[in-house]
Structure 1
């Protein structure tokens, strides 16, 4: 099975392992269709559930990831066996012809020659059927061979650090679709040292709500402006969760042991008075360090101490611009 076939076969497993927050989101989306028919208190409870679910999702992106592709196994998989033409139908037809012995009815109505002729015709039809089946098997083998050739070649290229192959696989698999659905966009490139670098535009002001929704004791909806400190904390968790998710997806997609992930967003340049896109978190993620973490239990912001990273954050102010982690630092890693 080629690498795309492998990906398709594990798709069901990935969906089955989907975290609770995403399942809850779909349930709420289905209920949204019935929103207009809800009573006021039901609508209030629904809006609070949607709000809480959104907060859960943006803080837990790192808890879900695609199943890793085993490139070493794909690089050494055996070549599909070339099919040999089987003469099963012909052998059966010839056996019937050779074993034919006229019965009483055939002799009585003098049908021996007619039956023998029919058996000869059946042999020709059987030969044609064997040829047809062989052609079908050959076509199937040709597809499998092309897939095998593509898979093994791609796997070997990846294991040899081919940057073009890395970008091809990432483009084909599109492992960052969930992050994109939240409004974050991502670009992947290959650094001069061959290190994969991902830049994610997190669009924090679009993702983090500026209001808090809750239920009063009466069951009515309460909407309050989110305190700046709480907004900044959620924003930091979201950005760090994105960084971890992107790193993990890259390790699931590629055989690399080291990637650099940088989050950018619009920040106010106090010198010009304009919003400008700037790096707000840049981290070198190692496979071994990431795999050592219990992603279901960590605080995504606190977890950054496990990696070489640049981040300037204050709860009262939020993020300040930082420099990117340079790939040259890890050229020999």
Structure 2
């Protein structure tokens, strides 16, 4: 099976293992169709559930990831064996013809010659069946061989660090759909070092709510302005969770040991007075370090201390502009 087939075959397992927050999100989306028919208190409870689920989603992106592709195994998988033409059908037909012995009924109704002619015709039909079977097997083998050739070639290119192969796999699989559904966008580049660099535009003001929704004792909806400190903390968790998710997805589809992820968003340039797209977090994520973390239990913001990263963040102010981590720093490490 080729690498694309492998990915498709494990898709069901990935969906089955998705985190509770995602399953809850789908349930809430189904209930949205019934929103207009709900009573006031039901609508209030529903709005709070949607709000709380969204908060959980943006803080737990790192908890879910695609199943890793085993490129080393794919690079050494055995070549499909070319089929040989067999005479199984012909052999069986000839055996029947050679061992035919007319019975009483055939002799009585003088059907012996007719039966023999039929058995002879069956041999010709059987020869055609053998040919058709061989042609089917050959067509399947040819398709499997071409897939094997492409897969092993791609796997070897990836294991040898070829940048074009990496970009091809990332483009084909596009594992970042959940992040893009939240409104973030992603760009991938690979420089002379061969290290994959991902830039994620997090669109924080669009993703992080500026209100807090809850229920009063009466069951009615309560909507309050979110304190700036709370907003900034959620924003930081969302950005860090996104960074970890992108890194994990890249490690799942590539054999690389290091990736550099940079989150950018619009910040105020105090010199010009204009909002400008600027880096707010840049991190070099190591596969071994990421795999050593318990992603179910970590605080995504606190986890950045495990990696080389640039981040300037204050609860009262939020993010400030930082410089990107340079890939040249990690060559020959």
TM-score under structure 2 normalisation? 0.99
Please give the residue correspondences for 1:1-333 in structure 2 after superposition, counting only pairs within 5 Å: 1-333=1-333
Shift of residue 332, structure 1, vs aligned partner? 1.1
Greater mean deviation of Cα atoms: 84-93 or 231-240: 84-93
Q: Secondary structure at the match of 2:10?
A: helix
Quick one: distance in 1 between partners of 2:190 and 2:201? 18
Q: Secondary structure at the match of 2:212?
A: strand
Runs of 4+ aligned structure 1 residues displaced above 2 Å come to none
Quick one: distance in 2 between partners of 1:80 and 1:234? 52
Shift of residue 106, structure 1, vs aligned partner? 1.5
Shift of residue 113, structure 1, vs aligned partner? 1.4
Shift of residue 308, structure 1, vs aligned partner? 0.2
Superimposed CA distance per residue, residues 239-258 of structure 1 (whole angstroms, 9 cap, x where no aligned partner): 00000000011100100000
Quick one: distance in 2 between partners of 1:157 and 1:142? 22
CA RMSD of aligned residues (A): 0.7
Quick one: distance in 1 between partners of 2:49 and 2:309? 35
Superimposed CA distance per residue, residues 268-323 of structure 1 (whole angstroms, 9 cap, x where no aligned partner): 11111111000000000000110110000000000000000000001001011100
Unaligned 5+ residue runs, structure 1? Answer: none
**Alignment length (residue pairs):** 333
Q: Secondary structure at the match of 1:77?
A: coil
Superimposed CA distance per residue, residues 7-45 of structure 1 (whole angstroms, 9 cap, x where no aligned partner): 011101100001000000000001111001100000000
Shift of residue 87, structure 1, vs aligned partner? 1.6
Shift of residue 86, structure 1, vs aligned partner? 2.3
Shift of residue 108, structure 1, vs aligned partner? 1.9
TM-score under structure 1 normalisation? 0.99
Unaligned 5+ residue runs, structure 2? Answer: none
